[in-house]
Amino acid sequence: MSRELSEQEINRRHKLAQIREMGIEPYPAALYNVTHLSSDIKTDFDHAQIEQYREETVSLAGRLMMVRDMGKAAFAELQDSSGRIQLYIQRDEICPADDVDKNYYKTFFKKLLDIGDYIGITGYKFKTKVGEISIHVKSLQLLSKALSPLPIVKTDAEGNKHDEFLDPEQRYRMRYVDLAVNDFVKPLFMRRFKMMQSIRNFFNAQGWIEVETPVLQPIHGGAAARPFKTHHNTLDMPLYLRIANELYLKRLIVGGFDGVYEMGKMFRNEGMDRTHNPEFTALELYVAYKDYFWMMDMTEKMLSTVVQEVCGAAVIEVGNHQIDFASTYTRLTMYEAIEKYTGIDISEMDEQQIRQVCHQLHVHIDNTMGRGKLIDEIFGAKVEQNLIQPTFIIDYPIEMSPLCKKHRSKPGLVERFELFINCKEVANAYSELNDPIDQRERFEEQLRLAARGDEEAMVLDEDFLRSLEYGMPPTSGIGFGIDRLAMLLTNQVSIQELLFFPQMKPEKMD
């Protein structure tokens, strides 16, 4: 069932019919040659060259965002991908010389164009009497008729704003409108893009190779998470949207690459909140002949470089805090961090004792949780909220890290770190487990946890184990949450602000 049209939408459709009756194609297919962006004109404007500008024709295209009628002339505003610029249009100048309809300007421009229409204009640069850089329009062409009105903000005599497009659900659901009318949105995504490019540049400069691995996988490995499941008809087999790309990237290290990374989408069939979306962007890097100590040093250097390039400073404001990416990051073991913020040393406790500590600390748990999951619940409830400045939490219990190498000097622990900034995990890294026998035993322990009801336990991947049997060199790997890192660098508290099209509940259509 089609939705009911508003009065404005009906009126615009009438205008569309009139435009066609005038012989004007409202959606032309021909190439429109754009020579300048509005920002270029403003930035490069030379006040000493005003007279010469009359001889220089410029061509711009974008949305018509404002019209101020002055009788025989009008001021308008054009919005292109780089910003806005004022247009000055005189009635007699945009009327085609051979046009027999002397009311062309009055009929077409004044009555049939609307806010939101895409137009192309040619003319010359000039400066108005009040000093605003503008375009004196000589010709105007309709490029696309907008049939739905944009929610343009209007301010009344009392200074109250109306028609603001600020409701988060509307903004995320109709991102195309959000980008068109809210000036603060596009810069967030441009900063995200710049951040991703800076990371790529840093990695490429080290000689590491960007690769692509399967999104559809026969086994959902590489992380503890519930997958999305589908079915391949031709192969008649189940497939899973990847929850991580770790096991495939390690196969490439086995194959002889010294450093590989991938920046791509992951999918986890889990909850949604301000820091989680079922579809998210992750970066994973694996470098041969390195360990987690080297990875910590590299991470500090990379983040300091990226934040400086993207934000212009290595110390940035995030919420109510000044986050320092330049200084050496604090390093605490998992047990040290829990003892620091709870006063309880759990390092020598077994599963039942840690379960009692959870009850003592009022940490919610259930019977499916093993020792590692219990520790993780304590950490999440009592420690994370205190980790404001960049902090490496290192040396995790072995039960929490089935893909990580055992610690070289601390029995029962593994060589793993997670990086926390502003109370959130933004990276997870290991000295990678490359012993195929140990790895098989770890997978088998995960199968026992799954039998207890742990829906996030890892599955056993025989092909990955086979690859390790061919030999993987000492390797360190790290995974970054790109969305969360972008949240930090744009000072946003919701992941939805940094996703063009976040997942949402089905829209209720009237």
pLDDT tens across 170-182, in order? 999 999 999 999 9
DSSP code per residue over 270-297 = S--BTTB-SEEEEEEEEEET--HHHHHH
Dist CA 374 CA 277 (whole Å): 24
Dist CA 373 CA 454 (whole Å): 10
**Residue 139 exposure: Cα atoms within 13 Å on the Cβ side:** 10
Dist CA 292 CA 273 (whole Å): 31
128: left (phi over 0), alpha (psi -120 to 50) or beta: beta
Dist CA 353 CA 371 (whole Å): 9
Dist CA 278 CA 297 (whole Å): 31
Q: How would you write the pLDDT of the chain (510 residues) with one tens digit per residue?
A: 568 899 999 999 999 999 999 888 999 998 999 999 999 999 999 888 888 888 899 999 999 999 998 888 899 999 999 999 999 998 888 765 445 455 667 777 788 999 999 999 999 999 999 999 999 999 999 999 999 999 987 766 676 766 789 999 999 999 999 999 999 999 999 999 999 999 999 999 999 999 999 999 999 888 878 999 999 999 999 999 999 999 999 999 999 999 999 999 999 998 899 989 999 999 999 999 999 999 999 999 999 999 999 999 999 999 999 999 998 999 999 999 999 999 999 999 999 999 999 999 999 999 888 898 899 999 999 999 999 999 999 999 888 888 899 999 999 999 999 999 999 999 999 999 999 999 999 888 888 878 888 777 778 899 999 999 999 999 999 999 999 999 999 999 999 999 999 999 988 766
Buried b (16+ CB within 10 A) or exposed e, 280-295: bbbbbbbbbebbbeeb
Task: Return the pLDDT at 96.
Answer: 52
Which one-letter amino acid corresponds to residue 311?
Answer: C
Task: Return the pLDDT at 419.
Answer: 98
Contact 124, 138 (CB under 8 A): yes
Task: Return the pLDDT at 97.
Answer: 45
Single pTM value for the model: 0.91
Q: Which two tokens stand for residue 122?
A: 């040619």
In eight-state DSSP terms, residue 71 is: S
Q: Taking Cα atoms as reference points, which of 476, 444, 489, 505 lies closest to residue 310?
A: 489
Contact 178, 155 (CB under 8 A): no
Residue ranges and CATH numbers for the domains of the chain are 7-150 (2.40.50.140), 185-329+389-498 (3.30.930.10)
DSSP code per residue over 91-140 = HHHHS-TT---TTHIIIIIIII--TT-EEEEEEEEEE-TT--EEEEEEEE
List Cβ neighbours of 327 (8 Å cut-off, separation of 6 or more): none
CA 151 and chain centroid, separation = 25
Q: Taking Cα atoms as reference points, which of 173, 60, 112 lies closest to residue 508?
A: 173
309 CB neighbour count, 10 Å cutoff:
16
Measured torsion, CA atoms of residues 171, 266, 417, 301, in degrees rounded to the nearest 10: -70
Query: 136 pairs with which residues across the strands?
Result: 88, 124
Q: Which two tokens stand for residue 139?
A: 């010709």
Which one-letter amino acid corresponds to residue 182?
Answer: N
161: left (phi over 0), alpha (psi -120 to 50) or beta: beta
Contact 412, 335 (CB under 8 A): no
Buried b (16+ CB within 10 A) or exposed e, 4-14: eeeeeeeebee
Q: Taking Cα atoms as reference points, which of 438, 427, 432, 433 lies closest to residue 480?
A: 427
Task: Return the pLDDT at 100.
Answer: 46
